[in-house]
A and B are shown apart, each in its own frame.
Chain A
Amino acid sequence: MMKFKGFLKILFLLVLILAGILSAGQQRFPKPEFETGYEQPTPTTPEPRSFGMEIADTIILAAVLSLVTYFIIRKRSRRGVLWTSIFTLVYFGFYRNGCICSIGAIQNVALSIFDPGYKISVTVLIFFLLPLVFALFFGRVFCAAACPLGAIQDLLVIKPVSLPVWVRKTLGIFPYIYLAMAILFAATGSDFIICRYDPFVGIFRMDAPFIMVILGICFLVLGMFFARPYCRVFCPYGVLLSWMSRFSKYHLTITPSECIQCKLCSASCPFDAIEAPVVEKYRTDQVLNRNRNRFIIFALALPLWIVAGGYIGSRAHIFLSKANPDVYLAELMIHHPELKNDPDNIDIQSFLESGDSFEQLVEKASLVRQKFKTGGWYFGGFIGLVIGVMLMNQFILRKQKDYVPNRADCFSCGRCMDYCPVEKQDRNTDNQDDEFVNGNPPGTAFKNSM
């Protein structure tokens, strides 16, 4: 037995030596020995942006968020927010080229939760967390001026139109779908769709596929009339922020003291995010009873929505899973076996060269597809839940006496604060000359509207 082991050891060593000779033999032409004193150069390796600089970015983000919070909650200055958003646009947008951003960080977080092989990096995690924590306390100050995508759209709001509630609510479902899809694709390791279809990154980089530049410009042109289209109809991070902001401890208030119901703020908001007071005479017992009954019916229907959504989601898994490169390749090779002989099909040729067997690929693909099936249930169930809750919500009549920002939708841009005449009055009584010396543009806007 011992002898046998010793023999094995020798055999193992021999194999090692042989492997060494073979691998050395890979160099077909040995390195020459120069006689003229030629000095061999070394290839340069330019360093990536240092880790310290990345940390500096997170510090800048924290500073910008704090500054916006100060402008919104304490100083109540729209102008401050505006200048901060210009800084954000220049720094995070045009200088840092819009990457990494908090919106895209959702995918890194999702991937790191579901793929144990991927470790999230510190900066990405901070970019993901900071705005959410700020939203939990101060509302969506990130949207106001710390997001380059928001900033570029906000600066181009020219003549915003107001849309009917049902249109806004229906469009409001899309961010949830986008969020769920982004998480599904990231968690299965298929694609980072938020980054891939970021409409403004092409503009920030001034260098992108033509179609993406066109898409970005379309968004900006649309945004002149339908303010911040990306934020309101697509932004998946906005969903998370709105959850936080809904329950924020301190939030932007339109008026510093008492609301005089002048409706000026309501007209000033380009995002239809200001809720009018509920007229007391609507709150009759009859209406309240009817609403309560409908609310209960819709609440009971909630499980149905979830199951229906989940079912549709899981049925769609075959289609959705095509986004995964392995599934795509396996399907292509199954349905078009003749492509194996096509030298121009790089994907198939590289796969054939790689030495993996076709069965391995199919197994990998079916594993991914299985993930999509489970994920599809969650994906669809989540969308069903969102729709169900949205329908329930329309029967809640709040006891609301003043004009207040809808905390979920409000981007904390601060336009309404500037329009509030109560503030003007207070400021004027504080310091008569102040307004005229500073020449506040919002002040003039207010006078014009009078």
Chain B
Amino acid sequence: MKKDRSINRREFINRGARVTLGVSLAGVTALSVGDSLSKKYVWQIDPEKCTQCGRCATECVRTPSAVKCVHAYDVCGYCDLCGGYFKPGPNELETGAENQLCPTGAIQRRFIEEPYFEYIIDEELCIGCAKCVKGCASFGNGSLQLQIRHNLCLNCNECSIARVCPSDAIIRVPIDEPYMIKGMFLENGEDAG
């Protein structure tokens, strides 16, 4: 008889604890949801905040980094003397390796018409070091920008570049608008939409 009662008591305590835990789990859920849920976040670089420090090339969990230079052609001036392509004080304005700023030669320069040149980023080669981005921002229009490429990004729970980004330029953006290319969405946004 006594044994029966003790089993019942234990079962009673268990049930009480289960309900309590269930309720607290619901409470934690309610607290964390707050007033709204988001669909999903991805990481992206805000070009307005980026200071081209070069850490994107080294801190990403992927080698080479999932951060690449993206060319917003709409903002580009198609300059002959491109601050993103040429080293400061190049010997000649031509495609010789000694003139190039990019350490991996990931920018292709192509003649369009006098005096304009087109610059195309080869993402296979780009390591996201931001040297060209800095050059373009300093001497040009700022059409070269660093962006996280989502075909490469593993979308870590906490971006390891974001943790060390000195200007907090890497932010969580909603999955619907995964890119923050400066200038591109001003004019092209309407076309695309």
Whole-angstrom distance from the CB of B11 to the nearest CB of chain A? 10
A47 and B32 contact, CB distance less than 8 A = no
B61 and A249 contact, CB distance less than 8 A = no
Near A by CB (< 8 A), chain B positions 161-181 give: 163, 166-167, 172, 175, 178-179, 181
Q: From the candidates A48, A104, A108, A129, name the one contacting B178 in the complex (CB within 8 A).
A: A48
A35 and B33 contact, CB distance less than 8 A = no
A249 and B18 contact, CB distance less than 8 A = yes
Scoring A residues 18 to 57 as 1 if CB is less than 8 Å from chain B, else 0, what string do you get?
0000000011111110111010111101111111001000
Rounded to whole angstroms, the CA-CA distance of A41 and B78 in the bound complex is 13
Query: In the complex, which residue of chain B has the Cβ closest to the Cβ of A116?
Result: B34
A112 and B34 contact, CB distance less than 8 A = yes
B184 and A43 contact, CB distance less than 8 A = yes
Tell yes or no: A153 within 8 A of B by CB: no
Q: From the candidates B73, B150, B167, name the one contacting A40 in the complex (CB within 8 A).
A: B73
Near A by CB (< 8 A), chain B positions 103-138 give: 112-113, 116, 118, 120
B62 and A207 contact, CB distance less than 8 A = yes
B113 and A129 contact, CB distance less than 8 A = no
B150 and A48 contact, CB distance less than 8 A = yes
B33 and A120 contact, CB distance less than 8 A = yes
Whole-angstrom distance from the CB of B57 to the nearest CB of chain A? 13
A122 and B113 contact, CB distance less than 8 A = no
A42 and B73 contact, CB distance less than 8 A = yes
Tell yes or no: B97 within 8 A of A by CB: no
Q: From the candidates B40, B116, B140, B149, name the one contacting A122 in the complex (CB within 8 A).
A: B40
B38 and A36 contact, CB distance less than 8 A = no
- Residues of the A chain whose Cβ atoms lie less than 8 Å from the Cβ of B71: 43
Rounded to whole angstroms, the CA-CA distance of A27 and B182 in the bound complex is 12
Query: In the complex, which residue of chain B has the Cβ closest to the Cβ of A30?
Result: B77
Rounded to whole angstroms, the CA-CA distance of A107 and B79 in the bound complex is 48
Whole-angstrom distance from the CB of B40 to the nearest CB of chain A? 5
Residue count of chain B within 8 Å CB distance of chain A: 66
B181 and A43 contact, CB distance less than 8 A = yes
Near A by CB (< 8 A), chain B positions 27-49 give: 28-29, 31-34, 36-42
B61 and A247 contact, CB distance less than 8 A = no
Whole-angstrom distance from the CB of B176 to the nearest CB of chain A? 9
Whole-angstrom distance from the CB of B43 to the nearest CB of chain A? 9
Binds B, one of A306-314, A345-353, A367-375, A387-395: A345-353
- Residues of the A chain whose Cβ atoms lie less than 8 Å from the Cβ of B155: 48-49, 99
Q: From the candidates A133, A191, A353, name the one contacting B163 in the complex (CB within 8 A).
A: A191
Q: From the candidates A29, A133, A351, name the one contacting B141 in the complex (CB within 8 A).
A: A29
Tell yes or no: B158 within 8 A of A by CB: yes
A136 and B21 contact, CB distance less than 8 A = yes
Rounded to whole angstroms, the CA-CA distance of A119 and B166 in the bound complex is 24
Whole-angstrom distance from the CB of B127 to the nearest CB of chain A? 15
Query: In the complex, which residue of chain A has the Cβ closest to the Cβ of B139?
Result: A28
- Residues of the B chain whose Cβ atoms lie less than 8 Å from the Cβ of A107: 157-158
Whole-angstrom distance from the CB of B86 to the nearest CB of chain A? 15
Rounded to whole angstroms, the CA-CA distance of A346 and B28 in the bound complex is 39
Near B by CB (< 8 A), chain A positions 204-230 give: 205, 207-208
Rounded to whole angstroms, the CA-CA distance of A187 and B139 in the bound complex is 42
Query: In the complex, which residue of chain A has the Cβ closest to the Cβ of B166?
Result: A350
Rounded to whole angstroms, the CA-CA distance of A132 and B113 in the bound complex is 65
- Residues of the A chain whose Cβ atoms lie less than 8 Å from the Cβ of B120: 41
B175 and A34 contact, CB distance less than 8 A = no
Near B by CB (< 8 A), chain A positions 222-250 give: 243-244, 246-249
Task: List 20 additional A-B contacts (Cβ < 8 Å) besides A112-B32, A121-B40.
Answer: A29-B78, A29-B79, A38-B116, A43-B70, A43-B73, A46-B150, A49-B150, A99-B155, A112-B33, A113-B31, A122-B40, A136-B18, A136-B22, A195-B156, A207-B63, A244-B25, A346-B54, A350-B166, A351-B166, A399-B6
Binding site for B on A (CB under 8 A): 26-32, 34-36, 38, 40-43, 45-51, 54, 97, 99-100, 104-105, 107-109, 112-113, 116, 118-123, 125, 129, 132-133, 136, 191-192, 195-196, 205, 207-208, 243-244, 246-249, 325, 346-347, 349-351, 353-354, 399
The 8 A-B pairs of least Cβ separation, nearest first, read A29-B77, A350-B166, A48-B150, A46-B151, A192-B158, A119-B38, A247-B17, A112-B32
